[in-house]
Amino acid sequence: MSKVEPVFDDTQSESGEGTITLYDASAFAGMHKAGRLAAQALDMLVEHVLPGVTTEALDELIMEFAQQHDAIPATLNYRGYTKAICTSVNHVVCHGIPGPKALREGDIVNIDVTLIVNGWHGDTSRMFAVGAVPRKAERLIDVTYEAMQRGIAAVKPGHTTGHIGAAIQKFAEAERCSVVREFCGHGLGRHFHERPNILHYGVEGDGVVLKPGMIFTIEPMINLGRASVKVLPDGWTAVTRDRQLSAQFEHSVGVTEEGCEVFTLSPKGYHCPPYAAG
């Protein structure tokens, strides 16, 4: 089995081998601003994710939104990636590249945006349903959202990254879904991808001990079928090997004395589909 590169690390050696940055209150304020803007960008897309729209049109909307708000999409020119968002449709697990193909009624799509505001990275993604979607797709979206929430609820000082992974894995597998192993959450802040890695499976007590000031993402990818994925020849697009549906949500969070703060909450309350009221 070929293994996919598990995670990026953009910190070079400046913070030292294996160091995890503990951020202060002003960093948390910066992350709140960046996270909120990234969430607002996803809110803005809600009315545009419709049958017939292309994923590259959604990418252009985010480019404009970023320009208007003095933000930079972190994925632009990141390791050769040339778009402002990732758009992962149906059996695409993550890192789908926006293109000329139109969304169709019944598709589900993850849209992942990272905006840099004053040097801080707000990284978040949500699922969108294109018109009416099959019941099993709705169920997968609900399971994936709840899995992320269980992971977030496990964040507190003294717990480890393993508590987060265990909470996600237990819930997802009890729902007869599987957890993608090849991609994980990541530290972030001044950089897009820092230490620690946040695995979405594992054992309570394993991994890194959580401390106030740590900032990272929780972004489980959950499959209806088997966990196994492969990356297409474009070098980015990850798909399920069995071509069954995959879903993902992502929040950026900071560890506090009591638990955590979520930086990327939707200002409009668009947490999980359906987003349009009624």
The site partner of 81 among ligand MF3, Co ion, none (C-beta below 5 to 8 Å per kind) is ligand MF3
The site partner of 86 among ligand MF3, Co ion, none (C-beta below 5 to 8 Å per kind) is ligand MF3
Residues 201-220 close enough to bind ligand MF3 by CB under 6 A: 217, 219
Closest to ligand MF3 by CB, 61 vs 106, is 61
Instruction: By CB under 6 A, tell whether 78 contacts ligand MF3.
Output: yes
Binding span for ligand MF3 by CB under 6 A among 30-38, 73-81, 160-168, 206-214: 73-81
**From candidates 250, 260, 263, 273, binder to ligand MF3 by CB under 6 A:** 250
Closest to ligand MF3 by CB, 107 vs 250, is 250
Residue 98 C-beta: closest distance to ligand MF3, Å:
10
DSSP state string for the chain: -PPPP------TTTT-TT--PPP-HHHHHHHHHHHHHHHHHHHHHGGG--TT-BHHHHHHHHHHHHHHTT-EETTTTBTTB--SEEEEETTEEE-PPP-SPBP-TT-EEEEEEEEEETTEEEEEEEEEE-SS--HHHHHHHHHHHHHHHHHHHT--BTBBHHHHHHHHHHHHHHTT-EE--S--EEE-SSSSSEEEEE-SS--TT-SPBP-TT-EEEE--EEESS-S-EEE-TTSS-EEETT---EEE-BEEEEE-SSSEEES---TT---SS--S--
Residues 116-145 close enough to bind ligand MF3 by CB under 6 A: 123
Ramachandran class of 7: left when φ > 0, alpha when ψ lies in -120 to 50, beta otherwise: beta
Residue 121 C-beta: closest distance to ligand MF3, Å:
9
Residue 246 C-beta: closest distance to Co ion, Å:
15
Binding span for ligand MF3 by CB under 6 A among 51-59, 74-82, 138-146, 150-158: 74-82
The site partner of 194 among ligand MF3, Co ion, none (C-beta below 5 to 8 Å per kind) is none
Q: Maximum Cα–Cα distance for the chain, whole Å?
A: 51
Instruction: By CB under 6 A, tell whether 11 contacts ligand MF3.
Output: no
Instruction: By CB under 5 A, tell whether 217 contacts Co ion.
Output: yes
Binding site for ligand MF3 (CB under 6 A): 75, 78-79, 81, 86, 95, 112, 114, 123, 217, 219, 236, 250
